[in-house]
Amino acid sequence: MDRVLILGSDNEFVKDLKTGLDKMNQFQVSITTSGEEAIAQLGKYKVSVFVMDVAVSDMDALDLLAYMSKKHPNTPCIVMTDHKKPWFKERMARQSFLYHIEKPFTIGVLTNAVFVGLTS
């Protein structure tokens, strides 16, 4: 079964995303609020799609994306941002392995992005 890893800064938010994705019964969902823990999980398990918030307290998002492109180049990334981060959206447009969804979004939008990641 495919594994989706969600990294977000707000514990309740990532729990809500997990609950929504779990209803699909299509993949296993793991969550964390720590960039370091996400890296540990990426090293321990095969992650099919990595969903990350651009605002993570313990790690710079660009550093984490650089890590992903170096260590896990075949793992699709979905980056969640809010409308206050247009600079990040512009930088992501130049990256072929990234998907972007802007908060607020519905669980359907995230589900669609995950399915795109799984089929890419």
CATH of 3-119, one of 3.40.50.720, 3.20.20.300, 3.40.120.10, 3.40.50.2300: 3.40.50.2300
Q: What is the mean pLDDT of the chain?
A: 88
Task: Report the percent of the chain where pLDDT is more than 90.
Answer: 61
Of the two residues 50 and 69, the one the predictor is more confident about is 50
Q: For 78-99, what is the mean pLDDT?
A: 67
| Whole-number pLDDT of residue 82 | 75
Asked if 4 and 49 touch (Cβ cutoff 8 Å), the reply is: yes
Residue 96 confidence (pLDDT): 53
CB 29 within 8 A of CB 6: yes
| Res 27: pLDDT | 93
Domain ranges of the chain: 3-119
**pLDDT score recorded for residue 54:** 86
**What are the tens digits of pLDDT across the range 6-49?**
999 899 999 999 999 999 999 999 999 999 999 999 999 999 99
Whether the predicted pLDDT of 117 surpasses 70: yes
- What digits encode the pLDDT tens for the residues 54-67? 888 899 888 898 89
Using alpha carbons, select from 110, 57, 48 the residue that is nearest to residue 79: 110
